[in-house]
Amino acid sequence: MSEDGRERSPSDSTRWCVPPGQHFAFADFDDGIVVFDARVGSTHLVNATAAEALSIVDGTPGIATVGIHRTLLERLALDERALAFETVVDLMWQLENLGLVARVA
The DSSP line for 59-102 is HSTTEEHHHHHHHHHHHTT--TTTS-HHHHHHHHHHHHHTTS-E
Read off the pLDDT band of 8 (50, 70, 90). Answer: very low
Q: Hey, CA dihedral for 81, 85, 86, 87, is it positive or negative?
A: positive
Q: Domains of the chain: which residue ranges? A: 17-99
Q: Tell me the per-residue pLDDT of 29-71, one tens digit each, with 9 for 90 and over.
A: 888 899 998 888 999 999 999 999 999 999 999 999 999 999 9
Q: Hey, CA dihedral for 41, 32, 54, 23, is it positive or negative?
A: positive
pTM of the predicted model as reported, rounded to 2 decimal places: 0.85
pLDDT of residue 10: 54
